[in-house]
Structure 1
């Protein structure tokens, strides 16, 4: 290699190195500016109440992104939104898998290896039951706020305010979950959604007969331009009566609901009792196909009994 070629190679290498440094500095500048803009946006949205838990660090972001791309992940996200929990699909899935693994190991260690998978399935069922319980609890709390919501809307429309304005005012005055849900409706109306679509999505998130009646009343009154005040005041009285009726029915059925959960618990407790009386009895029993089939049939019968008791105690008011 001649000295001229060596000088040319040195110059090209130096130029490439300088260009790389310039691009790295520019990239770091753009990255820092993007982070600052994102932090400013998150702070502004958090101050206006449009982002929940904006200051909390999210975990399992990679798993969360993968889940949101799937149909099951999007359904899980909607289900979590209906519960009001500040949990992402990735966080819920990771916690559920950890619970399943823990129950699997506990069932395998304390009872017999055969009960490990059954305990894992029990963990999955318990996780979905927890979501259903949280969702139902939120719906019940929202239903209890419906009479007050109808009263606020009636007073606001009687004072001459538009229904859109009345919804925003009710969102500010009511506590969660009604306040949070109405704030979502007000945000949708602010960005151009129709009243029918915004209220329809509210009824889909928190399905109940009382909310469907309220939404139908508001939608029909908004379409026809009729008198909303009289309809809302009559609806307020009806909702108050239904609220008291639901409370009485729930009180009467509390013992039946407790029985539905007590029956499976007694069955699982009998397994621990059997294994405690004679150590290794469950392992010997599940060591044969006949014993495994008997255990599966027993668990299936407990599940059928639980479902039947729950259905018999379900009274639609």
Structure 2
């Protein structure tokens, strides 16, 4: 029997069973749910309770281990508003689903278990890449918004506001992530943290040399005095020129980066396509030592070439 027809029939049968259960055996009540509950009563579902117990178990396991695969700081920098335990549970669930998908795709050939393991590994690797990409984009947006933010700070100081009040006003006028970082600085200062330390921590967290200059300029001005608005204007002008050069370099390097990604993904895509459409095409490689050695050498060369190309097209500024 054709496996597509078999799996299609199973899916249709499951869908019909679900429709029968929810529409015939357990139909939805006609009385609204909020009318059937007592005032002030909060009822959690079984799925919610199971999720809470699972996340609590993951929290205890991470505390015993002393190191989490995804820390709260990494999730915060990537603007993922989840607890580490909840994110780990999400990654594990995705790994299980991908493993089942790989097992189904490789059920007709000898590659069922390797595909299952490979697809399951895509979940944590993809999560790490997702966090890294989102954090990098957030830092890039912060760097692009910094010159405008310094202009708002300088304007607030010229209007007669204190530095902390100018930071608070700039946090309301700017866009994320600058607004979020400025709000954090203001809140940390209000609970007793030194302003210079809060600004230095922001520069370290956002990995921004430009903002580190701003923090140093503010620290020097607090010690020796002077017109801070003029200092921020000059620093903002310098940062604006650096941003222009950074954007120009990014535009010139875009073609090389695209070529590198195409050369990296092309052999992987062709290998995956042939492995799924014609599993016997690569059968000879797994039947003897020389074929396995050739695949290992190909993977090593692909990794070395990928690192080489990414290093060539990456411009440090």
Same fold, TM-score > 0.5, yes or no: yes
TM-score (norm 1): 0.73
Q: C-alpha displacement at 1:223, in angstroms?
A: 3.2
1:214 equivalent to 2:199? Answer no
Residue 127 of structure 2 aligns with which residue?
127
Q: Quickly say closer, same or farther: Cα 1:283–1:218, change in 2 above 3 A.
A: farther
SS at structure 1 position matched to 2:68: helix
* Matched residue count: 262
Which moved further from structure 2: 304-313 or 291-300? 291-300
Q: C-alpha displacement at 1:169, in angstroms?
A: 1.4
CA RMSD of aligned residues (A): 2.8
Whether the 8 Å contact between 1:104 and 1:116 is mirrored in structure 2 is yes
Q: C-alpha displacement at 1:141, in angstroms?
A: 0.8
SS at structure 1 position matched to 2:315: coil
* Greater RCO structure (CA 8 Å; 6+ sep): 1
Q: C-alpha displacement at 1:74, in angstroms?
A: 8.3
Residue 149 of structure 1 aligns with which residue?
149
SS at structure 1 position matched to 2:67: helix
Whether the 8 Å contact between 2:70 and 2:88 is mirrored in structure 1 is no
TM-score (norm 2): 0.73
In 2, distance between residues paired with 1:259 and 1:125?
Answer: 23
Whether the 8 Å contact between 1:256 and 1:313 is mirrored in structure 2 is yes
Whether the 8 Å contact between 2:285 and 2:295 is mirrored in structure 1 is no
SS at structure 2 position matched to 1:160: coil
Q: Quickly say closer, same or farther: Cα 1:276–1:96, change in 2 above 3 A.
A: closer
Please point out which of 49, 66, 76 is paired with 2:60: 66
Q: C-alpha displacement at 1:187, in angstroms?
A: 0.3
Q: Quickly say closer, same or farther: Cα 1:71–1:232, change in 2 above 3 A.
A: farther
Q: Quickly say closer, same or farther: Cα 1:284–1:211, change in 2 above 3 A.
A: same
Q: Residues 1-317 of structure 1: matches in 2 within 5 Å?
A: 61-63=55-57, 65-66=59-60, 69=63, 71-73=66-68, 76-107=71-102, 109-110=104-105, 112=111, 113-275=113-275, 278-317=278-317
In 1, distance between residues paired with 2:306 and 2:98?
Answer: 21
Whether the 8 Å contact between 1:260 and 1:310 is mirrored in structure 2 is yes
Which ranges of structure 1 fall in alignment gaps of 5 or more residues?
Answer: 1-34, 37-57
Deviation sequence 1:70-127 (CA, Å, 0-9, x none): 5432862111111112222123222322333344444455462334434444443322
Which ranges of structure 2 fall in alignment gaps of 5 or more residues?
Answer: 1-40, 43-50
Whether the 8 Å contact between 1:67 and 1:74 is mirrored in structure 2 is no
Whether the 8 Å contact between 1:64 and 1:88 is mirrored in structure 2 is no
In 2, distance between residues paired with 1:107 and 1:287?
Answer: 22
